[in-house]
Chains A and B, each alone.
Chain A
Amino acid sequence: MYARILGPLFACLVFTLAARPAVALDLDVSEFKLANGLDVVVIPDHRSAVVTHMMWYRVGAADEDRGKSGIAHFLEHLMFKGTPKHPPGDFSRLVRINGGVENAFTTQDYTAYFQRIAKERLPLVMELEADRMQNLVLTNENVLPELQVVMEERRERTDNSPSALLGEQIDSVLYAAHPYGKPVIGWMSEVAKLTRDDAVNFYRAHYEPANAILVVAGDVTPDEVRALAEKYYGGIPNPFPVPARVRTPEPVPIAERRVTLRDDRAATPYWQRSYLAPAEAKAPGREALALDLLADIIGGGTQSILYQKLVVEQQIAAYAAAWYSGDSLDYGSFGFYASPTPGVDPQKLEAAVDAIIADVLTKGVTQDQLDTARTRALADSAYVLDRQESLARMFGVALATGQTVRQVLDWDKDILQVTPRDLQDAARDVLELRASVTGLLLPASKGQVAGLPGGQPVAPDTTQN
């Protein structure tokens, strides 16, 4: 019993696993670059006559200008609004009547568009995607209603949800200077003022082949994909130099920070601690692998240290877990969350978590703990193989966040090199209070019964069309 209550969060963690290099197998992945700079990755999966076609742009919310938060995600919505050749609605209708499904998503570092469709229809979706890469037409007639849609999306995902609001507040404090502190969907005050011109400018500054990665997974050969990619994408010019991604680095963190959200709508208290951590692509040596395994040992599942100590033995938490998320360009995060048992002071829970952290810092982990975590990680990567879309996403995320296909493929070898010492070093590097924000969600005091813990774990900061 665990995954059920943690359903939403587990989905997020599973995604994290699936989205980082984690393939213990000999995948025959090909990569090449077209003359105009478009990167192409081909992942064969011949089990069914279906393809997953994904276009990843190296631009996300962290690339927005000051005062324009939410524009990357808003443009993602507007990319469905048509071109001279394919008027509004035509793109989605064509994908649909050809038996395809489509969507798009935006994060701090990338914006991706994808379709899943019968392999014979790969030329069709390439034609459509290539067309909207160059020829998007935006008018106030279709931009203004869509802005209202995005504002509804923010209300639905964030403003209606105390736990989502807490997550947004924690991130805004964790990043003092770096743009990761802004929510991907944007602050409502700024989203409400976004205009057609903002969207057009953002499109014209970021969308071109040299700033994109094409990932095709499915029942195709690299030669087929190369020929099709040349035909549909090869002739697209790059109207501007690929923009540098200038983001203010975080100053060295010097102060532990706290965020408390009191909200009448929260059913139960919820506690979380987030630490600034290295991004996977920037972490030195084996540190990112070590952090993955460390998170699993401390707080992955019902046999983890946190769960066993806090939920099973001390019974001061209803659930407790840990994460490491490194699929980003500049910084990752490492953290813990838990929900106090009714009547238990969240401070007592926090002290118990801190005692566990202190123990790991001084004693490290055992070889046995490491071996079990490694076995689980290797098995998870085998399950990823079963889903074509997950495979495509895994490579897309890796490339869009500064990793290489080689790193993804070597993951199963690299993970074997990790030692208990690596985990202890990683813990000492990352788990410093001065680099952390401790967040607490409390039901407002008035008339509150002794709270059961709860709160949906904070959703990943990914926003979909």
Chain B
Amino acid sequence: MLRKLLLKVLAFVALSLAAALPSQAFQIEAVMSPGGIKAWLVHDDEIPLIAMNFSFRGGSAFDPAGKEGTVNFITGMMDEGADDLDSAAFQKLRDRLSFKMSFEAGPDDFEGSFQTLSKNREQSFDLLRKVLTKPRFDADPQERVRRQFLLSVRDKDQDPEHIAGAAWMKLALPGDPYSRETDGTEASVAAITAGDLRGAHQRIFNRKTLQVAVVGDIDAKELALLLDRLFGDLPEGSEPPAQSASGFANGPILKTIDRDIPQSIIVFGGPGIRRDDPDFIPAYIMMEILGGSGLSSRLTNEIREKRGLTYGVGANLMALDRLGLVMGSLGTRNEKAAEALAVVKSELDRMAKDGPTAQELADAKTYLTGSYALRFDSNAAIASQLLGIQQQNLGIDYVATRNARVDAVTIDQVRQQARRLLHADALIVTVVGRPTGLTN
């Protein structure tokens, strides 16, 4: 159908490594409801499913001090009763209708993902409306969910990868809201009240910051009416308050955290760039060559393929609303931790000094452009992509123009970004395990 057409063209362009698509080929429709609510739609009735992804601004970075984990807590309460339905009544209906619903608290955004069978869509969306507008936050389910989140927090406190990542954020961004635990701490989760949840719900769930992407068996006219039904009762609301950044710590910093495990987990990185940086794409390509997916990146090649020091190593850009990070990680046996970290540093240096080769850049471009279509191979995947593009404010033509933007990047631009972003001598590093040869 439409999507098939679109992706055929996409794939063709990707493989011809040529110019961008004409944007009209994509058939992403911008839909506006009678009540003024906007969404992007790809109408595709080939399979009887509808996928809807949506988000609000104001994620866990906005949790009140001492109540960290509040926004995350809401994600656990969304299927525990709404409006006239208590937890059990809601879940029984959900099981009968068999829709899929999940929520996620990111640092900046609160996201929802919803999928329903076409045949149940009226009833399924009716339940979603109740969830969005009138969650109950009843006491019994709240305590149950609290027990589960406390458990989760305690588990994460013993998980080497989580320990290394969380410690890195605290070290790199001391005092910044981003450095706090998204899921909260045992103390903060214990302190969250129903009033806190209601307050956060009222703050987050509003029409001002709502973004919606819909893919599947629904047309624009039907969607316009549905949008008002689902979201029309939400308050207009406002953008979350501005937060001030604390600034990055000055590297180099090395912190080891002792744990009795055979493999050390190493997290490394430093300041990066935001998604709205004009050089984001050259920087992204540079990081793809350095530490991207697959077996071909420089870090994988040097650390895994040549030396057998790790099962997995990677590094990439993490773009948050207020700031960006360059962040990477690997796991290696304790006695090789120093060697692995030394190779990471020398690879950062090498890339900063010389940039990629022309061949590496060409390969990265054909991979990134050619594989872009793979991100759009299901209703659920397309909805997720389209929401992400809206959240990053990239414009409705981004899908059509993205490959051309990648192809337009020059080697000088990539070199420049490598020099700008990679600083081995100022690296911030956390190591969890019993590494030999690495000390604070």
Query: A residues engaging B (CB < 8 A)?
Result: 1-5, 46-50, 80, 89, 92-93, 96-102, 116-121, 144-153, 155-157, 159-160, 219, 264-268, 301-303, 311-312, 315, 318-319, 339, 341-342, 372, 375-376, 378-380, 382-383, 385-389, 452-456
Contacts and interface: CB of A to CB of B under 8 A. Distances in A.
A160 B311 CA distance: 13
Given A99-B371, A119-B11, A372-B95, 20 more contacts: A47-B4, A48-B4, A49-B12, A50-B373, A93-B296, A100-B371, A144-B308, A145-B308, A155-B311, A264-B260, A267-B154, A267-B158, A312-B144, A318-B151, A372-B96, A380-B98, A382-B47, A383-B100, A386-B380, A388-B377
A3 B117 CA distance: 20
28 contacts: A1-B77, A1-B141, A4-B76, A4-B102, A49-B4, A49-B8, A50-B11, A98-B370, A99-B11, A99-B14, A99-B371, A99-B372, A121-B15, A145-B308, A147-B308, A156-B311, A156-B312, A160-B263, A265-B259, A303-B88, A303-B91, A312-B88, A376-B98, A378-B98, A379-B98, A387-B378, A453-B151, A455-B155
Contacts of B122: none
A413 to B, nearest CB: 18
Q: Give 8 nearest A-B pairs by CB, closest first.
A: A99-B370, A148-B308, A379-B98, A145-B308, A1-B76, A155-B263, A153-B311, A267-B158
Given A152-B308, A155-B333, A312-B144, A267 B4 contact: no
A151 B311 CA distance: 8
Contact of A268 (B78, B155, B373): B155
B249 to A, nearest CB: 28
B237 interface: no
Contacts of B362: 97
Given A99-B371, A267-B154, A1 B148 contact: yes
A28 B331 CA distance: 44
Interface string B141-159: 1001101111110110110
B48 interface: yes
B358 interface: no
B377 A48 contact: yes
Contacts of A153: 311
B245 interface: no
Given A92-B296, A93-B363, A99 B373 contact: yes
B76 A118 contact: no
Interface of A (DSSP majority class): mixed
B316 to A, nearest CB: 16
B4 A92 contact: no
B46 interface: yes
B76 A375 contact: no
A149 B77 CA distance: 41
B3 interface: yes
A248 B151 CA distance: 41
B370 A267 contact: no
Nearest to B432: A160
Contacts of B407: none
Contact of A98 (B1, B75, B366): B366
Contact of A155 (B80, B305, B308, B331): B331
Nearest to A148: B308
Interface string B329-341: 0011100000000
